[in-house]
A = this chain, B = another copy of it.
C-alpha cells in the first residue's frame, strides 16, 4: 500500500522535509518504504545502529527505555503526522531508546544513509533538520520543567489540554478522546496507573468527567488555569 497523494502532501508539510523541493521529496521517497506494523511490534532496540528514521502515517509509536530492574520509562509517544528518531542518525552509539508500535499502524521508513547524503548536499534540508531537532530539544525542556514543578493532577490536565482541539472558541467545554490506554498515559506522564486513576478522579473538582477513553472538559480556561503553579 503506497503513499496517497494526500499523504505525500502531508509529509511535505512536516518541518523536517520543508527544505526539500517536490522533486527532492519524490526522490527521497523512492528510497523509503511504507510498512504496516501490528500492535506491540518492536521497531528497534536501544543501542541498535540507527539505520532508519520514521514518519507515522497512522497509529501510535512509543519510545522507551528499559531499566536494569525491568521498569519501563516512556520517553515519547508519536502519532500520525509526526517524525521520530531522526536525531539518532548522528548518534554513533545507535538509537538512545527503543521503539515499539502501540497500535497497529503504517510507518514511512527512511534509510538514514540516503537521507544523510541528501542533507550533505542540500543546505536547506540541513537547516530543516536543525530546526526540527531544535523543536524536539525545546519540548524536552518543557517536559523537564513540567515534571519538576507540576503535581500528577496538573500533568494529567496538561496532557488532556494538548489533545483538546478547540473547534468552537465560543464554547468553554470540549470532549477529548484519550488516544491510547491509561497505563501508557501514566507511564508517559511519569506516574503509576493508580496515580493516574486518582488524578482523573481529583480532576472532577475541576470540571473534568472521564468515562473510559472519553473525557469531557466543562471549562477549558479553568482547567488551563489549574495547570499553572501559584
Contact = CB atoms under 8 A, between A and B. Distances in A.
Interface of A: 65, 67-71, 73, 75, 87-91, 96-97, 119-121, 123, 126-127, 129-131, 133-138, 140-141, 143-145, 147-149, 190, 228-230
Contact of A97 (B141, B190, B228): B141
Contacts of A228: 68
Number of this chain's copies in the assembly equals 2
Nearest to A125: B126
Nearest to A143: B144
Contacts of A121: 123
Contacts of A97: 141
Contacts of A73: 144-145, 148-149
A133 B126 contact: no
A90 B230 contact: no
Contacts of A91: 134-135, 138
A190 B90 contact: no
A133 B144 contact: no
Contacts of A69: 229-230
B138 A96 contact: yes
